[in-house]
Amino acid sequence: MKTFKLGGVHPEENKLSSGSAIEIFPVPEKVYISLSQHLGAPAVPIVAKGDKVKTGDLIAKGEAFISANIHSSVSGTVEKIDEWIDTGGYKVPHVIINVEGDEWNDSIDRSTELVKDIKLTSEEIIQKIKEMGVVGLGGAAFPTHVKFMIPEGKKADSLIINAVECEPYLTSDHRLMLERPNELLIGTQILMKALKVEKAYIGIENNKKDAIELLSSLNYSGIEIVPLKVKYPQGAEKQLIKAVLGREVPSGKLPIDIGCVVNNSGSTFATYEAVQKNKPLFERVVTVTGKTVGHPSNFLVRIGTPIGALLKEVEVNMDEIGKIISGGPMMGKAIISSDVPVSKGTSGVLLMHENESHRGEVRNCIRCAKCVEACPMGLEPYLIAAVAKNELWDEAEKAYVMDCMECGCCQFTCPSYRPLVDYLRVGKRNVGQIIRNRAK
């Protein structure tokens, strides 16, 4: 079974919602749509207080090179543009819309008919992806069109679709594969055409045998389904490339430097809807789960829906919950309020019981090197954390802190409960700023 070799861990899977079919979540009474729900510069609003909008209307433009368009997820009246809390706990500008019915933009094809014929050229596909505001749905929310704008002098020979979903608890990608397999495969062919490659691989962890069998049974030219060993973080970009193609991305380089591009399966489905149905990315599948949740679910949710609305639908006693996490337990972030809205990057909402949500008491490092053994990037997390704690940024850079992907393997294995990822994030933020200043 294919996998990456260096590091990795095996957390308890807890795919509690894997058997729950995707349910269409009711449109809320009000949505809070962030202008900063993608990597890069915030989108610039083109609506104002009192404007009427339809579902799918453009409400903010991604004007910077790395940015993304944002569309209304509902029809109604813009109440205001104001600051609201996001998943990071920061107040950032949101377009707040009062819902009035659900009237969609007339240009969107709402039929369920499968559209296989890809009529657009490579350049037109990339432009359509940009117009429709498609971003990575695995968590990072990197604008998809930018990823497929290959720099001069670079060339791709392979496309990898990341359907691994190695983060414990999350099942939104799994359900999409089971319920919309043809759309996913057509989306893959669209991206192959955009990238001008003849070969694509869809990597899926072996704990999703039903999805592997289903996709393998469908005949789409140039697409290979690749079963992968169950191992975290199998779905990380560099680890996935190593497992599928046997290639290594050098430090400081990107996948395109070794001839490939990686795209999340949810984003690939969104690409199908954008190109074949003219549908902007204004809703996504969100897993809502946890060991104390009575009905772990997968919902198709409009962007901007308050997370608190989702919690009311899954049979959980909120008095027993110690943390609400946006994402999974390894790389997700605890949110400070259920008023935080669903964004394009919200893959799941994990509810942790009070008894399991506390960190262990931090003790001294015992030099066991378990964090080194677990690191899939070959780093020394104990060392980087120590120099970051002492603000030795030059030393942190020399220790390759910027190669850290914050997967949490080091902290997961640490017997002393050291907050390694916290220090690594601090180190990355400060060293990254130093590098940017140096480049000016």
**What is the tens place of the pLDDT at every residue in 212-231?**
999 999 989 999 999 999 99
CA atoms of 51 and 40, how far apart (whole Å)? 27
- In degrees, rounded to 5, the angle at the alpha carbon of residue 126 between the alpha carbons of residues 251 and 299 is 85
Residue 69 contacts residue 59 (beta carbons within 8 Å): no
Q: Where are the alpha helices (DSSP H) in 79-138?
A: 122-131
Predicted confidence (pLDDT) at residue 89 exceeds the cutoff of 90: no
Q: Quote the pLDDT of residue 252.
A: 87
Q: Quote the pLDDT of residue 315.
A: 87
Taking CA atoms, 179 is separated from 1, 87, 176, in Å, by 26, 28, 5
Q: Quote the pLDDT of residue 439.
A: 84
CA atoms of 95 and 69, how far apart (whole Å)? 13
In the structure encoding, which two tokens stand for residue 108, read together? 């969107």
Placement of tokens 């060993």 in the chain: 229
Average pLDDT score over residue span 85-93: 91
**pLDDT tens digit sequence for 352-383:** 999 888 889 999 999 999 999 999 999 999 99
Residue 280 contacts residue 203 (beta carbons within 8 Å): no
Mean of the per-residue pLDDT values for the chain?
Answer: 96
Q: Is 387 helix (H, G, I), strand (E, B) or coil?
A: helix
Q: Quote the pLDDT of residue 236.
A: 95
CA atoms of 388 and 4, how far apart (whole Å)? 28
Q: How confident is the model at residue 1 (pLDDT cuts 50, 70, 90)?
A: confident
CA atoms of 8 and 410, how far apart (whole Å)? 9
Average pLDDT score over residue span 228-245: 96
Taking CA atoms, 334 is separated from 110, 168, 348, 354, 416, in Å, by 35, 15, 12, 13, 21
Predicted confidence (pLDDT) at residue 182 exceeds the cutoff of 90: yes
Instruction: Give Cβ neighbours of residue 323 (< 8 Å, ≥ 6 apart).
Output: 334, 351, 352, 357
Residue 54 contacts residue 104 (beta carbons within 8 Å): yes
